[in-house]
């Protein structure tokens, strides 16, 4: 009997529960787009051992596409983290993301500068380097100001596709940006604007703006709208299993996509109930 948690013919869904447990109950290849905005690797000091994977015919780990890997322990080092082992936490969730993407699907992994380089290596192993599409830099102009280093004013979004020969991407569907030097192009081009590059200039959610939900890590609707527009089509299913304030679902709903959102935080679920009301079904696992 099919798992009653979710059906591709059912309503938009918000699930309160552990995302690894929830995603294990979703079918292979069900989603065109997976967006993940996991907790950034900040918090308490701990020591971890890095892991490196290399292709090996006698490896101790079977990876995607049937490849085998040998897991090698790297140098142990200290860093700030809120988890006992951040990557032990994140890696199985990235594997689930790969499993749940359809053949034309795309993963967007949203991280900050502390961990994005390690994530790139990990995703190259999980997806294959040929499936790496973009490193998007989201630059903004709000937040703390540093005086002993260049202030950090950007996040990074890594983009990987399930199949580099079949993925969906529609640049004509996204919003256009103003030219930085409009005097160097024709008036017609200046009025139309330009297609975004891999550097996105977009402000954060205003603390006093109408978009603000009160959720601390809320991402701007404009960022998610661009992602959903480019990498899915109307009627496609979109998945976010660190859903937070539900911005992925709001963008999907606005653009005619379907969504499944997962979060274990009661506060996040409360924000999403207020945001979606009766337009989505709520479940608990």
Homologous superfamily of 13-39+84-284: Vaccinia Virus protein VP39 (3.40.50.150)
Residues of the chain with pLDDT under 70: 1-3, 41-85, 143-144
Token pair in block for residue 79 = 């860093």
DSSP class of residue 29 equals T
Neighbour tally for 202: CB within 10 Å: 15
Per-residue pLDDT, 69: 41
Residue 258 to residue 236: CA distance in whole angstroms: 6
Per-residue pLDDT, 73: 31
Contact 33, 251 (CB under 8 A): no
- The candidate with the shortest Cα–Cα distance to 95, out of 62, 60, 73, 118, is 62
Tens of pLDDT, residues 202-234:
999 988 888 989 888 899 999 999 999 999 999
Contact 228, 251 (CB under 8 A): yes
Token pair in block for residue 148 = 């002993």
Neighbour tally for 172: CB within 10 Å: 8
Per-residue pLDDT, 269: 97
Write down the residue that tokens 């499936």 correspond to: 131
Neighbour tally for 85: CB within 10 Å: 14
Q: Where are the domains of the chain?
A: 13-39+84-284, 43-81
Residue 258 to residue 256: CA distance in whole angstroms: 7
Backbone conformation region of residue 277, classed left if phi is above 0, alpha if psi is from -120 to 50, else beta: left
Rounded to the nearest 5°, which phi and psi values hold at 118? -65, -40
Write down the residue that tokens 């032990």 correspond to: 88
Write down the residue that tokens 């053949």 correspond to: 103
Q: How far is CA 170 from CA 21, 174, 175, 230, 233, in A?
A: 32, 8, 11, 5, 9
């Amino acid at each position: 009997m099919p798992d009653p948690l979710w059906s591709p013919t059912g309503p938009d869904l918000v699930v309160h529960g552990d995302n690894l447990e929830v995603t294990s109950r979703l079918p292979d290849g069900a989603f065109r787009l997976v967006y993940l905005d996991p907790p950034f690797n900040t918090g308490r000091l701990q020591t971890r051992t890095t892991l490196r994977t290399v292709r090996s015919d006698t490896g101790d780990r079977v990876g995607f596409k049937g490849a085998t890997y040998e897991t090698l322990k790297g140098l142990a080092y200290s860093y700030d983290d809120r988890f006992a082992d951040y990557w032990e936490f994140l890696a199985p969730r990235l594997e689930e993301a790969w499993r749940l993407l359809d053949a034309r699907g795309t993963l967007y992994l949203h991280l900050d500068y502390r961990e994005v380089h390690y994530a790139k290596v990990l995703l190259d192993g999980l997806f294959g380097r040929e499936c790496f599409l973009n490193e998007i830099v989201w630059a903004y102009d709000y937040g703390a100001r540093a005086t002993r280093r260049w202030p950090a004013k950007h996040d990074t979004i890594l983009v990987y596709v399930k199949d580099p020969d079949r993925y969906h991407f529609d640049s004509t569907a996204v919003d256009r940006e103003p030219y930085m030097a409009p005097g160097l192009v024709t008036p017609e081009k200046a009025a139309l604007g330009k297609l975004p590059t891999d550097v996105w200039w977009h402000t954060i959610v205003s603390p006093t703006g109408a978009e603000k939900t009160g959720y601390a890590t809320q991402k701007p609707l404009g960022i998610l709208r661009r992602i959903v527009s480019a990498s899915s089509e109307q009627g496609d299913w979109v998945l976010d299993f660190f859903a937070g304030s539900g911005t992925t679902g709001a963008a999907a709903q606005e653009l005619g996509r379907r969504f499944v959102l997962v979060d274990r935080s009661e506060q996040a679920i409360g924000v999403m109930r207020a945001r979606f009301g009766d337009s989505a079904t709520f479940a608990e696992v």
